[in-house]
Chain A
């Protein structure tokens, strides 16, 4: 077994300020969780730039990047606010309401 395989890769996510989303920062190599924590702190916190870190073994991450699943080809506009164009309908409704008053 090579040194590469005995040493694990840990992905580090950081929260810049309280309430911010956790954003991927990068990765460190360490043989165990204790040292991974130390090294994550060094690489993503030594300038006081992080409020919180998540340290995750790379193999625990499941990736999905299939465009067929994430950007399906058929219409999904009904799922987004921009999919509802109401300007003209609103104008018509206001005009009608004004007439009936």
Chain B
């Protein structure tokens, strides 16, 4: 137990926050790792693979932090749950789809994550603040990469596909900021320095300004209450893949 002084209610809320952060990184890392070996160009293949590995690395650090709170094991949290127990945002329920969707989703996700991490770097829970600061160092590269791609596609013959993909991803992207159970407690204790609703406003402004420059506008969207609990067949399929070996033999070490 590394967080003495936290009340049970705070600890439960903190666990929920860490799980949502970790699951976001874990699931997007899995979908995007699927590009390894088949991306549009060999050079880009290696770049996208690194980014997906970074996300899995971040998920691992977050699961470990969570595991230290709950006296569990990071791998057991990642690979030992049923689909319904995952807490990633609905944006990440969708399959890899195509390159346009991957770029659109990554852009919305990376900008949201940057907004979220900037706040969490000021968290009163020091292990999380430290981890967020460390993650931001890698995420800033992801942001550069994805904005380069966004601009290239928006100014080329792929512009229409990109626009369609952004339109498709936009409503579910709101779910990154779906209020958490116990969020009030997190804000009160300074673990989450600002409510997710405020972060969402800042994120939407940032997205609007980048896309505005590219002549893309997205309709207003609402935050669904079940944004982090809704699951899809596509995610069920992914879950079946990533638990295939891990669940194949009770108690085995891999």
Tell me the A residues contacting B by CB distance below 8 Å.
28-32, 34-35, 38-39, 41-43, 46
Contact = CB atoms under 8 A, between A and B. Distances in A.
A31 B153 CA distance: 13
B56 to A, nearest CB: 15
Given A34-B148, A38-B145, A46 B43 contact: no
A13 B123 CA distance: 40
B115 interface: no
B54 to A, nearest CB: 10
Interface residues of B, number: 11
A42 B148 contact: no
B43 A30 contact: yes
Nearest to A28: B43
A19 to B, nearest CB: 24
Contacts of A28: 43
A46 B45 CA distance: 13
Contacts of A31: 152
A35 B144 CA distance: 10
Nearest to A46: B50
A51 B228 CA distance: 41
A43 B148 contact: no
A72 B46 CA distance: 44
Contacts of B43: 28-30, 35, 39, 42-43
Given A32-B152, A38-B144, A46-B46, 17 more contacts: A28-B43, A29-B41, A29-B43, A30-B43, A34-B144, A34-B148, A35-B43, A35-B148, A35-B152, A38-B145, A38-B148, A39-B46, A42-B46, A42-B47, A42-B50, A43-B43, A46-B50
A18 to B, nearest CB: 19
A44 to B, nearest CB: 11
Interface string B21-57: 0000000000000000000010110110010000000
The 5 closest A-B pairs by CB, nearest first: A39-B43, A42-B46, A34-B148, A42-B47, A28-B43
Contacts of A29: 41, 43
13 contacts: A29-B43, A32-B152, A34-B144, A35-B43, A35-B148, A38-B47, A39-B44, A39-B47, A41-B141, A42-B46, A42-B47, A42-B50, A43-B43
A32 B152 CA distance: 10
Interface in B139-158: 141, 144-145, 148, 152
A18 B144 CA distance: 25
B155 to A, nearest CB: 11
A98 to B, nearest CB: 67
A88 B47 CA distance: 62
A41 B51 CA distance: 12
Most buried by B among A29, A31, A35: A35
Most buried by B among A30, A41, A42: A42
A101 to B, nearest CB: 69
Nearest to A7: B41
Interface string B66-101: 000000000000000000000000000000000000
A2 to B, nearest CB: 15
A94 to B, nearest CB: 62
A3 B127 CA distance: 49
Contacts of A32: 152
Contacts of B46: 39, 42-43, 46
